[in-house]
Structure 1
């Protein structure tokens, strides 16, 4: 993987760059739709590629390991061949599931023992076998195994968690460097900064992560319950340390406002389930604000979803029709909502890129943050 830093904003830390992988190029800043089990829920790949113009999607190590299982993915020739997605793929390591499934797991130095949410069977994830699993999945970018401390963790817990993540990182990198990709395309390994909401820990973790000089770096453990102001503060602390010539990936974030603020702090890559999850439930993001499509006020509103035309569905479906679908519990409603939200997120980062290059990003960002925060 290669990264070219092409332009930096003069009034913020926003950046424009290009990541090159064996499966294609990725223009940054970029939002990556989440494909947890090898699919972006309810969305066809043709729509992702041709209409939404997604450049990279995610797969989830924990979920793919359990279903369909590594034997099936390996027989298929990797996830690219299994699901038909021929552009770049990123896989997370399962570290977030160690956090989110805390009731069903036990941490120890070796790794994380957890019980499947599907059948209760017991499994062990280690820094080494998580590399092996992601080798089999075949993603272009794979993530280190980490522990994500909760947003309300105290300093002692966060420090112990960070140090465990660092020890796991050493083992993961050693194993990654001692193994080879399986399907003829290169893979790259991103370490993950942890440290919860503590400046000293975040700085220490960023310094440690940067010392490995990998092709890219990730920021984890944010948007897990801490206030947005704390998240932005931690991003700023970390990005003062992480090298400028490597892409920076903020994991699991977030709202459109979060994304623009993080771009202004120097983040390049984002992912979040929010566009599809909220889309299925009737919450749509637009350039004018947030829509609750089940609200009766849209019953006879025959205007497009977003007058700015940020979604390819705008020109086909009106607010009134889409509300009718949601109220009727028609499956098409969630699909249209997911498509719209993904299109909006991809439009937003593409517009951010244009304004960074044009030199007016800071002004545009402030205006967009105000508009997008309104509940319509």
Structure 2
């Protein structure tokens, strides 16, 4: 209480007690005493006379603001004009009343204490919010870094897989393929020296088995690393693989493409696109029970768009995603991760009994390479 009159102070305390308050107070008359009291106690409200011999309400407000405390500041004065009262309110006072109307003091204090509690709760809520936002920002940064590391690791894994595929394809072609070719030639060379009979039939069967094995080795080699990507380019390689697979699976195929204006010279980008179409077509052959498949490769808004549609049995995309999260199926996830490595995406649209539509989007770059 900032008050120089002990009698007025007693009247103010009586009004508070009559209003139901239990009062613990300290009366001060100077800025020094007020500063010391604010720093040494826990207070609920400041009641201040307007004008004291060595102090006034304006200076008292300044002391309260300097302390950093958010306490209700109520001016209780014997004489105060409206303009002065308005100036005090603008400077931060919460209310003012006249000493000849102390009946208003209890309700005013009760109201301002409630407002102070609300302000304190808002500050705590804001502090909690800021803390949560800071934690969220830290978690977001950590998650982004983890995702970046995961993408880098996934990229290295895929690059290692492609390197191993190339090596295995080369070994199949150069070693096993050549060995089978030599066996076939040896068997064929024996044919003129045998007379007609069971031996010739067994030899013919052996030649046939060798030819089938040789065809399988060539097919495996092509699937592991299609050489067309190296000397035909992406567009022709996609068409070649689609026609080859549809012919073997007896699928009706329509293939359209236009990659003008989209640079896919980067080998990594081309192999990702090829593998995505390869995976999608393999799923059609294995699971769709389709009669026809339509493939469209084009550019749109600076990106490559690969569309694969079939008229097969379709599937429940959300159910497949749930199985994927449970670890029962990784096909969709593998395609999405492969596209995501290049900043692309894969969208699956399908309904049981109504076919499937797979849309792959990959960014194109005019600088002929990744940065």
Normalising by structure 2, we get a TM-score of 0.22
Q: Which protein has the bigger helix share? A: 2
Higher relative contact order (CA closer than 8 Å, sequence separation 6+): 1
Say which one has the larger Rg: 2
Per the normalisation by structure 1, the TM-score is 0.22
